[in-house]
A and B are shown apart, each in its own frame.
Chain A
Amino acid sequence: AQSVSQHNHHVILSEAASLELGCNYSYGGTVNLFWYVQYPGQHLQLLLKYFSGDPLVKGIKGFEAEFIKSKFSFNLRKPSVQWSDTAEYFCAVNNGAGSYQLTFGKGTKLSVIP
């Protein structure tokens, strides 16, 4: 069975600080990897995704993530956060093309202080 581990429950940063949120998954086969964001009072939105190819993927709002297969990791990064990035971030994985089930981590709450 797949599982996803997000290392930080709550991260507090000042504006302009750099962000890295950890995500590790356990599954030995082909995986698709996702980061979703949930802003306060809003629905889950896709930030970025990795299916194949370049392991460094860029998403919306300046976010990027790097897939490191040997470490089973898919960490999310942003060089300079803004107050508007305050949200909860979820890492998720499914086992390849056609897969119907996303397995989510518990989420990391990010608070950005102006």
Chain B
Amino acid sequence: DTGVSQDPRHKITKRGQNVTFRCDPISEHNRLYWYRQTLGQGPEFLTYFQNEAQLEKSRLLSDRFSAERPKGSFSTLEIQRTEQGDSAMYLCASSPAPRGANTIYFGEGSWLTVV
């Protein structure tokens, strides 16, 4: 399967700890996205990269959230000093470079529980 892969799938952490999630997009997809999904809600856009450039990050929830894609391939999403309200599913997605319409493919997500 050459879909979007995310690691870890589940993470339980104590409040105040830092966590990092990794995403490997579909090969040759230039764009990579991070979304967050909480119970009873649809996914909410956080940030996106085109190759290694982070072109939109104003939707990151606070300055405790940061994302990188250093070589334009995999990406990491870090949450510092986690809070209970950060408990959610963190989704990664990717898409080809936009030449017209743009279909986005999602990974299975990383569940975060902050206790």
- Pairing of A with B: yes
Q: Kindly identify which residue among B42, B98, B108 contacts A106, using a CB–CB cutoff of 8 Å.
A: B42
Contact assessment for A42 and B108 in the assembled complex, using a CB-CB cutoff below 8 Å: yes
**What's the count of A-B pairs with C-beta under 8 Å?**
64
Q: Which residues of B contact A42 (CB under 8 A)?
A: 108
Q: Which residues of B contact A25 (CB under 8 A)?
A: none
Q: Which residues of A contact B48 (CB under 8 A)?
A: 100-101
Contact assessment for A104 and B101 in the assembled complex, using a CB-CB cutoff below 8 Å: no
* Per-position binary interface string of chain B over residues 47-64, scored 1 when its CB falls under 8 Å from any chain A CB and 0 otherwise: 010100001100100000
* Residues of B28-79 contacting chain A, CB below 8 A: 31, 33, 35, 40-45, 48, 50, 55-56, 59
Q: Which residues of B contact A90 (CB under 8 A)?
A: 42-43
Most chain B CB within 10 A, of A32, A42, A43, is at A43
Q: How far is the CA of A44 from the CA of B92 in the complex (A)?
A: 11
Chain A residues at the B interface, C-beta cutoff of 8 Å: 4, 32, 34, 36, 42-46, 49, 51-52, 90, 92, 94, 97-107
